[in-house]
Amino acid sequence: MTTAKRPLTIAVLGASGRVGRVVTAEALSRGHRVTAVARDLATLPDLEGVAKVSADVLDASALRRP
């Protein structure tokens, strides 16, 4: 496992799911900035340094940057 030379900002859709949790943790461990996206924020893992966003991936307007 290596750390990022230049940290990326990564949005993980479905971050509360089985694969999303692993991807979120791995990205954090590599030094990236992570935004975890899920329909229900209460289902997201409690990881330090993760920005949490509630959004439905089927709603394109909810995924646009503000």
pLDDT in tens, 40-61: 999 998 889 999 999 998 988 8
Quick check: 4 pLDDT over 70?
no
The structural domains of the chain, with segments of one domain joined by +, span: 1-45
Per DSSP, the residues of 19-32 read HHHHHHHHHHHTT-
pLDDT for 53 equals 92
pTM of the model: 0.83
Q: Give one DSSP letter per residue of 39-50, joined into a string.
A: S-GGGS---TTE
